[in-house]
Structure formats: C-alpha cells, structure tokens
Chains A and B, each alone.
Chain A
Amino acid sequence: ETGVTQTPRHLVMGMTNKKSLKCEQHLGHNAMYWYKQSAKKPLELMFVYSLEERVENNSVPSRFSPECPNSSHLFLHLHTLQPEDSALYLCASSQDLGGVADTQYFGPGTRLTVL
C-alpha cells in the first residue's frame, strides 16, 4: 500500500450504532487531518494531529471522537450520529504542521450514510 488509505470506503449506520473510520498513511508524515465534505459544501477541517497530539479541534460535536495511536494511524470514532452527519470523510497527512508549503495528501475517503 502506498499513500494514504482509508477503510471502510462505504459505511451505513443507524443513529444508535458505534463505528470507527480508519486512516493509515505510508508516507512517513508527522501530521494527520480529518475533513468532512457534505453535499454541495466545501471540505471542512475537523481535527489536526501532530506527532499523535491533537492540535486543532474545529468545533466538532463530541459524537465524533478522534484517536491517533501513532503517527501512521488515525481513527474517527462515531457514536449516536445524526442523519445530517452523512457525508464524505477524508483523511489527509502532511510532512509536518506546516510549513506553508507543506502539501497535504488525501486518502480516498469514507462515504458515510446515517439512517
């Protein structure tokens, strides 16, 4: 595997379920990100991790809980979601936190549907 991978690619869950999204990067990067893209809306930054430490939480509801056990893996734990949380969830990584030129590399995303 190369680049940034995400599993699962598609997920359908009920509002009372608990599920997790997984992201793995094979680029040796130190920073990882979660983004959300709802229909007809721009990508929105949710969380930023650097060296396994959360450095940014963009006012995301607590029903989304990120976890970064090491610099290669990032999880997004989901519980008691709402139908409006249905969206494409994208993971990204960058070498560091940003140097302005620190390009972010994206995974293919998980298409989440909450029933």
Chain B
Amino acid sequence: DQQVKQNSPSLSVQEGRISILNCDYTNSMFDYFLWYKKYPAEGPTFLISISSIKDKNEDGRFTVFLNKSAKHLSLHIVPSQPGDSAVYFCAASARGIQGAQKLVFGQGTRLTINP
C-alpha cells in the first residue's frame, strides 16, 4: 500500500511557463512534507518543504502548496528553466518507533523543460 503517490510519471513544460507537480498521500499522521530533485547519476537533493500547520511555502521560483483536507500537495515552479529538468520526488515525514524521522517517498515525476 503506497502512502505517497505521484500519479504523473512524466511532465513536459515549455521554458518560461509554470510547472506543476502533484503528490497525494493517505496517512494523516504525516507532519512534514518535502520535495527532492534528482539529476541522473546524483543523489536526491532537498528542494523545499512545508509543515503540516501551513498551507503554502515559497522559496524563489518554487512554491509548495498543501491541502490537508484533500491530502494533496503540489510544487509550482515559475518560470520554468531548462536546468529544472530532473526527476522530482515528493516525500512525507512520519515518526518511527524510536522517534526517528522516516521519509516515505513517491515514485517521482520526470520533468522536462523544453526550450
């Protein structure tokens, strides 16, 4: 049973336009949500996060929106740039038995920005 889902395996967007990546989750105990970006042959790198007590967090061109009632979050990138082409992973944080933060990841969405 997958607790974090990214239903779009790929997305193609024109340079300069807005990219919107979506993520759904099922576990209401998640208290923190993160987006990671991954280039080929590299590990995922942290991009932006949001606490469950907020509904929006903005950092430059990146904005994450959280809709708790719908158990849905989205990442907006505007304007999109060719360097944004990568795989984007949504992750949700929950506590393990001994208090360790456990990240549960979605399958990822491959974003391609076309010039």
Q: How many A-B residue pairs lie within 8 Å, measured between CB atoms? A: 72
A74 to B51 CA separation, bound complex (whole angstroms): 29
The answer to whether A108 touches B51 (Cβ under 8 A) is no
The answer to whether B100 touches A31 (Cβ under 8 A) is yes
Minimum CB–CB distance for B86 against chain A, Å: 13
Q: Which of B32-49 contact A (CB under 8 A)?
A: 32, 34, 36, 41-46, 49
Q: Mark A23-65, 1 if CB is under 8 A from B, else 0.
A: 0000000010000000011111100101000011000000000
Of the residues A4, A44, A50, A92, contact of B100 by C-beta under 8 Å: A50
The answer to whether B100 touches A106 (Cβ under 8 A) is no
Beta-carbon nearest neighbor of A107 in chain B = B43
Chain B residues within 8 Å of A71, by CB: none
Minimum CB–CB distance for B43 against chain A, Å: 3
A77 to B69 CA separation, bound complex (whole angstroms): 43
Chain A residues within 8 Å of B104, by CB: 42, 45
Chain A residues within 8 Å of B85, by CB: none
The answer to whether B44 touches A98 (Cβ under 8 A) is no
Instruction: Let me know if A21 is at the binding interface, CB within 8 A.
Output: no
Minimum CB–CB distance for A30 against chain B, Å: 11
Of the residues A44, A56, A108, contact of B43 by C-beta under 8 Å: A108
A4 to B97 CA separation, bound complex (whole angstroms): 26
Chain A residues within 8 Å of B95, by CB: 98
Instruction: Let me know if B88 is at the binding interface, CB within 8 A.
Output: no
A42 to B100 CA separation, bound complex (whole angstroms): 20
